[in-house]
Structure 1
Amino acid sequence: MTLRVLLAILILFILPLATHALWWAMREDAAPDWSRADWSSAHILPEPAAHRGAMVRIYAARTGRWKGIVAHHSWIVVKPEGAARYTRFDKVGWGTPVRTNGWPADARWFGNAPQLVVALDGDAAERLIPKLAQAVAAYPYRNGGDYRVWPGPNSNTFVAHVLADLPELQVAMPPTALGKDYHPASDMIGLTPSRTGIQVQLGGYLGVTLGWVEGFEMNFLGLVTGIDLRRPALKLPGWGRVGMAIETAA
């Protein structure tokens, strides 16, 4: 029995991660350190004046150096109707943990281009923005010292918290958003953020998620493997989604 469990861990978690680590090490475009990485706009979003309607976006981008093997960093962007600028919310591990407009709204993260997770526009976005702002303000791990890279709470725990307060978005975070499954010990069993299924999580170290939006996921030490039937794709440690793109217009 023990041998079968070890073999399953090897096939489902270790081998995909090892192959992605090898691919990551062979890249020629990797930034050597944070000071020389490109943190500029990827020019994905239009100028605010050219898009007067309300807008909500969630982005994720690979983190830097060795952490990029396993994880994305995610953040939230909003713009009320007629606003002159975008507002970006991140949770980071230095300075003020919940950061507002620390970087351009669609900036590269450690040189890596953002991946769109969800897009919401118009009246639906305008109605959602006040509720989103309340969820950001109510985030429980917003003080200095409330950040842990692994297994959380981190940047992805922050975005997962906001999504759990906005189930109408019906969106799942990337499987490589390490920290999205972090829950305190008092909150081991509950509904998925989309409210379309259930999840059991042991502090972000071990867990199982089953939901129509989230699909089927197994979490082992923060690594996620699984399958998405709604938007057909495999979920592999390191590689993330292999199949239909995660992005969605809500």
Structure 2
Amino acid sequence: MSRLRRVISLILFVFFVPLALHAAWWFANDHPRSWSQASWSSAGLLPPPEAKPDAVVLVYAARVGRWRGIFAHHTWLVVKEKGAPRYTRFDKVGWGTPVRTDGWAPDARWFGQVPEVVAAIEGEKAEALIPRIRAAVASYPWREAGAYQAWPGPNSNTFVAHVVAAIPEAGIALPPTALGKDYRSDGRIAGLAPSHTGVQIGWSGLLGLTVGWTEGVEMNLLGLVAGLDIRRPALKLPGFGRIGLDAGPAISHAAAAPKGE
């Protein structure tokens, strides 16, 4: 029994101590209190489309608003075909028509939070991926109104994980704080990890284990993720997310930051 207690204590320490520390940090800083107070404008991360003629695939992540920002990011996808005059953004949200196209600027702040680049792919590789990304967006199973559940899913991160799983060679791993990413859209308890470089077992996004070269080792407890990134050495902690080497390169550009914000 004492061994069982030690295991339980270790699990509670690994998952809930980092979460409590991040909660204290989160509430010690100022954040927008409402949708109307938050900025949803471009963060100036992308150059104009005409300045970037190559095809582009991007995955962004930004902290969600209010108390949910303690432990969760919202993720979305951006694509641009070669020579296209505009970027196209895909999100899933919890109101109205869930799957949105161009609901916001491609690099917009989310609830006032500047997004981070999770993955950036350019050129011929991006050009080959875009048709499959569009097909995966169209095939997402929870598209109807009301088909959104913030916890444990299916939510915005379940949607992006579904698309990422359709392009495993892209080598994209969503942040550990992308709550809902482990809610499998194929409905299976076990299968390949989204990157197809390992395996994943889990139950309804609430409990699970992912082991893969791209994802590393991730343990899921009630949607919270703790683990190790082996490919790019880092810790993955609830609340804080990934702590280690940069997750991915940003697209180089010379765009100026927006004024007056």
TM-score by length of 1: 0.97
Q: Residues 149-168 of structure 1 correspond to what in structure 2 (within 5 A)?
A: 149-168=150-169
Deviations 1:184-230 (A, max 9, x none): 69400000011000010111110001001100010000000000111
Query: Contact 1:20–1:238 at 8 Å: present in 2 too?
Result: yes
Q: Following the alignment from structure 1 to structure 2, what is the Cα–Cα distance between the partners of residues 201 and 148?
A: 18
Gaps spanning 5+ residues in structure 2: where? Answer: 252-261
Q: What is the distance in 2 between the residues matched to 1:61 and 1:186?
A: 27
Match of 1:46 in 2: 47
Secondary structure, aligned partner of 1:34: coil
Q: Sequence identity of aligned pairs in percent? A: 59
Q: Give 1:53 shift.
A: 1.2
The answer on 1:7 being equivalent to 2:21 is: no
2:22 to 20, 23, 27: 20
| Offset, 1:160 | 0.3
Amino acid at match of 2:7: V
- CA shift for structure 1 position 5: 3.3
Using a 3 Å threshold, how does the CA distance of structure 1 residues 16 and 138 change in structure 2: closer, same or farther? Answer: same
Q: Any conservation in 1 of the 2:162–2:185 contact (CA below 8 Å)?
A: no
* CA-CA distance at 1:27 after TM superposition: 0.4
- One-letter amino acid matched to 1:130: P
Contact in 2 for aligned 1:135/1:165 (Cα 8 Å) = yes
Q: Do the aligned partners of 1:170 and 1:194 also contact (CA within 8 Å) in 2? A: yes
Task: Give the Cα separation in 2 of the matches to 1:53 and 1:83.
Answer: 9
Q: Residues 249 and 127 from structure 1, CA distance in 2 versus in 1: closer, same or farther, beyond 3 angstroms?
A: farther
How far residue 248 of structure 1 moved from its aligned partner, in angstroms, is 4.7
CA RMSD of aligned residues (A): 1.4
Q: Deviations over 1:2-36 (max 9, x none)?
A: 422330222110100000000000002x1111111
Long gaps (5+) in structure 1: none
Runs of 4+ in structure 1 over 4 Å off: none
Using a 3 Å threshold, how does the CA distance of structure 1 residues 186 and 80 change in structure 2: closer, same or farther? closer
Normalised by the length of structure 2, the TM-score is 0.93
Determine if contact 2:141/2:185 at 8 Å carries over to the other structure: no
How many residues are paired up?
A: 249
